[in-house]
Amino acid sequence: MKVITRAGWNARDPKNRLTVPWSTRTEFFVHHTDGPPTQTLRSIQDFHMGTSRGWSDIGYNFLVDDDGVIYEGRGWLVVGAHCPNHNRTGIGVAYIGENDPTDAAKRSIRRLYDEACRKAGRPLKKLGHGDRYPTECPGSKLQAWVNAGMPAELVDAPAKNPTEDIVNALPVLSVGADCYDVKTVRALLFARGGLNEKVYGGAVGLRSWQESTKYDAALCEDVKAFQRRSKLADDGVVGPLTYAALLRVS
Ligand SMILES: [Zn+2]
């Protein structure tokens, strides 16, 4: 769970700061800022610390945006300013927006909830602001989501092998090709060994062989031999599987 720290969003220092122990925390409140999703953290903090609110800091313990980015507000154990009579017992997390939270935003709120329960050592009560105070906050959609138990698909997509993209982006080469990539294939074939130097007339011949950008019949035979050694279909076509074997990333 990645959290943008206060320094990361250029937070002002709080006017004061009161903390409670985890044993005091029993509730987890979901809010919305009720502003456009483009609101900046600093504008929310300025509003909360300004004359209309006059709080010591941004009111919430954490905030999340539509991209699922989590921002540190007051942090886990600082008493917030988000729900009267529940600021000591409750952790307040706000969705930056009005009433159209993305799945990513909900996932991040759920991650914060799970993390809070883990830190507290017990499950916290899931609440919308409106459950404990007469307000429309956190909006009908988030409130329904809280009422449903804050369901979220938290399994991350399996990490992609970055070399897969590289290999798939390389040009497929076969007899007749004439381009710089052929030289790369020659260099890789040479690095992997198994070439018959006699055929290329020793070191000098080998060098001119390596310099050629032409995918000729002789190269095709070398590629086929390499494919057989690599237990690949020996079709003489340099595609993703052959590249992966040449690069040893398969
Ligand atoms: Zn609220």
Separation of 95 CA from ligand 1 center, angstroms? Answer: 9
| Phi, psi dihedrals of residue 191, rounded to the nearest 5° | -65, -30
For domain 3-147, give the fold.
Answer: Lysozyme-like (3.40.80)
pLDDT digits (tens, 9 = 90+) for 88-113: 999 999 999 999 999 999 999 999 99
Ligand 1 center from residue 83 Cα (angstroms)? 7
- Domains in the chain: boundaries: 3-147, 162-247
By the CB criterion, residues less than 5 angstroms from ion ligand 1 are 31, 129, 137
Interval 68-84 mean pLDDT:
97
**Percent of the chain predicted with pLDDT > 90:** 79
* Fold designation for 162-247: Muramoyl-pentapeptide Carboxypeptidase; domain 1 (1.10.101)
Are the beta carbons of 237 and 174 closer than 8 angstroms? yes
Cα-to-centroid distance, 107 and ligand 1 (Å): 19
pLDDT digits (tens, 9 = 90+) for 135-187: 999 999 999 999 999 999 876 656 667 777 777 888 999 999 999 999 999 99
* pLDDT at residue 39 tops 80: yes
Which strand ranges, in their side-by-side order, compose the sheet holding 90-95? 3-4, 70-72, 62-64, 90-95, 27-32, 125-128
At residue 58, the 3 state secondary structure works out as: coil
